[in-house]
Amino acid sequence: MTSSGTGYLSMPSSARVNALTIDVEDYFQVSAFAPYIARSEWSERECRVERNIHRILELLAVHNTKATFFTLGWIAERYPQLVRLIVAQGHELASHGYGHERASDQTEDVFYADIHLAKVILEDLSDHRVSGYRAPSFSIGPRNLWAFDCLARAGYLYSSSIYPIAHDHYGMPDSPRFAYEVRPGLMEIPITTMRMFNRNLPSSGGGYFRLLPYALSRWMLNRVNALDQQSGIFYFHPWEIDTAQPRVAGIGAKTRFRHYVNIHRMEDRLKRLLADFNWGRMDQVFLSRIVTSQVEV
């Protein structure tokens, strides 16, 4: 494997398959809300993730699209039928850790326990191997690269935890932009960026997708497919299509803007995105030479 990711897919850019990913967490588990919503309050909050995932599954079925669901162990324990439904419909089940704690806030031992527990829960509930992991808030960075050793030891085949941009909450702008072997047997598949003006620009979903005009997001992903000849990654959260979610009181202006901007436009934009590009699961797009489908544990 090379740092550029060359060789994982060799097809015309017009037919290139990109990876569609969903980070399965509820609105009250967002890292930016941690100062306002205590973890001890989670069980008291209205959980809306189940209905939102059902809407997403219906949307994917309409567009005949398969995706990867990076799922919290906390969610899986409470909604085991949802986990089984995701797998039954042909999607990839992957790990988002257990309790949405940032990897950068954990010690090495605590992090390993978290990712191991999440993997065991997801595999036991689904009867399928869990190959992938995504750190909450892309929280693997220069100060905790030991996290990759933990992931390899826990039996993961890939991580999608580094965003090679400069950001106030996360990011490694100098890291490779495309898939590479970060440890023997473990790939890191960075979140997609477009290179322009000597910097990496975010091009893979989340709040940027809601903030920027859709035409610009489409152009950036097309550019990655055509100019870089690489498959891109798109990510979003179930709460991003939920206009009726409870509003969290007392949050700062920046946090409020980032979380709620253009939520009312998200679902329609997703429909356009699904129609405009070819999409698949992370494992099938990037690990085709290692694993082409989830296998029973």
Euclidean distance between CA atoms 223 and 87, whole angstroms: 32
Judge whether 150 and 119 are in contact, CB under 8 Å: no
SS3 21: strand
- For residue 171, the model assigns a pLDDT of 59
Q: How many CA atoms lie within 13 A of 266 on its CB side?
A: 25
Name the CATH architecture for the domain at 13-286: Alpha-Beta Barrel (3.20)
pLDDT digits (tens, 9 = 90+) for 250-278: 999 989 988 999 999 999 999 999 999 99
Q: Please name which of 29, 83, 92 lies closest in space to residue 54, comparing C-alpha atoms.
A: 83
Six-digit token pair at 77?
A: 């324990």
Amino acid identity of 286?
F
Structure confidence at residue 201 as a pLDDT band (50, 70, 90): confident
Higher pLDDT, 15 or 75: 75
For residue 103, pLDDT beyond 50:
yes
Is the separation of the CB atoms in 195 and 4 below 8 Å?
Answer: no
Q: What is the pLDDT of residue 167?
A: 60
Mean pLDDT of the 103-111 span: 97
User: What is the pTM for the complete model shown?
Assistant: 0.91
CA distances from 183 to 125, 153, 158, 218 (A): 28, 10, 10, 32
